Structure 1
Amino acid sequence: MAKKHVASRFEARLLRPREPRKAPWAFVVLPAEASARLPRRGRTTVEGTLNGHAFRATLEPDGRLSHWLKVDRTLCEAAGVAAGDVVALEMAPVAREPEPELPPGLRRALDGAPEAWAAWEHTTTLARVDWIHWITSARQPATRAKRVADALDMLASGKRRVCCFDPSGYYSKAFGAPEATDEQ
């Protein structure tokens, strides 16, 4: 029987990221209890409300087995909130994870590799989310390019999931929530 995921309701302070300076967005780190109700520790798409205003967003892993939510300028303005405010959030995972958008470099590479493309099309949506997250999480362009080449090789050899990738960032410490500034 599939695990039922119920909505989480909580209040949290909107934080301003230290970098980039003067960012037009804010963020919230989910409480552990809210994150524990989600289906996975990696990227997860949710629907919910912030002070009653509907949103749909992909939560990012915070590297501590929880998640963080980027609150863009549009949602802040619609809800009439700013960094430093305490907001009421309600959210639940979407019924079906949306198909991720292919980064242009990966799309071009897959177009030129029929065996890898065939394997890509036979992976699950969540596996594709993880492949893309693994590639795009590399900080250096050379590392991203190497990961694209490695992905093509792994897919062409029949691998359906990226190996050695911790989508939560917990074991590798590859991901984390932004650092908050003291200024609000």
Structure 2
Amino acid sequence: MTTTKKISQFSALLHRPKKMGEHGLWGFIILPHEVSDTLPRRGRTTVEGQINRQPFTVLLEPDGQKSHWLRIDEKLMQASGVNFGDLVELTLAPVAVEPEPSVPQDVQQALDALPEALAVWSATTALARVDWIHWVESAKQAKTRAKRIDDACDMLASGKKRVCCFDSSGFYSKALQAPEATD
């Protein structure tokens, strides 16, 4: 059986975030619900697409409203010729195979220190690892992050392949949301 990936075409406003953070200049787009509904999941998911015909691959973030938001870095903004407040043309489709997530150093160190956890981690899917990392990274305080890393290693060492009790969409917990826009 052959599956065809759903390609979505739409226009959306490029927003400027109120808080830029330390990653330089960037903007974001909130996906329309009907586009988000075509994606394989409500949590983080990788897509490939084009913005004003400039290709990209990016990990979408859940917006906490049963949709997703797309971060557009300065390099992509320049390459596609877009600026804040522009209505931009986008084409998106889920990637065929979810790429391996980048494992934060503190998570990798904890996994390396507990071979049983590392073995289960290695036996999970890339999407399951995305969720484990997302759960750790969504902690607001360093103390909570450290506890989540410890808890993750304990759960993995006991054979759990998926993080429990974590709403990766942010809808029910309201822990995840799109950035606030200046406009």
- Unpaired segments ≥5 residues, structure 2: none
Alignment-derived partner of residue 38 in structure 2: 37
Cα distance, 1:21 vs. partner? 7.4
Is the contact made by 1:26 and 1:71 (CA closer than 8 Å) also made in structure 2?
Answer: yes
- Counterpart position of 2:74: 73
TM-score when normalising by structure 1: 0.95
**Match of 1:163?**
164
Distance (Å, rounded) in 2 between the aligned partners of 1:5 and 1:171: 28
Query: What is the identity, as a one-letter code, of the residue corresponding to 1:170?
Result: F
Deviations 1:44-88 (A, max 9, x none): 100000000001100000001100000110011011110001100
- Describe the SS at the equivalent of 2:49: strand
Q: Tell me how many residue pairs correspond in the alignment.
A: 182
Indicate the residue corresponding to 1:9 in structure 2.
9
- Alignment root-mean-square deviation, CA: 1.5
Please say if residues 15 and 28 of structure 1, whose CA atoms lie closer than 8 Å, have aligned partners that are also in contact: yes
Secondary structure in structure 1 of the residue aligned to 2:130: helix
The CA deviation at 1:3 is 6.3
User: Is the CA contact (8 Å cut-off) linking 1:11 and 1:88 kept in structure 2?
Assistant: yes
SS in 1 for 2:159: coil
- Contact kept, 8 Å, 2:62 with 2:168, in 1: the verdict is yes
Give the match's secondary structure for 1:133: helix
- Quote how far apart the aligned CAs of 1:164 are: 0.2
In the alignment, the residues of structure 1 paired with residue 95 and residue 135 of structure 2 have an alpha-carbon distance, to the nearest angstrom, of 22
Query: Displacement, 1:89?
Result: 0.1
| Counterparts of 2:31 and 2:11, CA distance in 1 | 9
Aligned to 1:20: 20
Look up the SS of the partner of 1:121 in the other structure: helix
Q: Deviations over 1:7-37 (max 9, x none)?
A: 1000011000111379611100000111000
Percent of aligned positions that are identical: 59
TM-score of the aligned structures, taking structure 2 as reference length: 0.96
Residue in 2 that maps onto 1:129: 130
Gaps spanning 5+ residues in structure 1: where? none
Q: Distance in 2 between matches of 1:167 and 1:152?
A: 19
Q: Deviations over 1:160-181 (max 9, x none)?
A: 1000011000110011111110
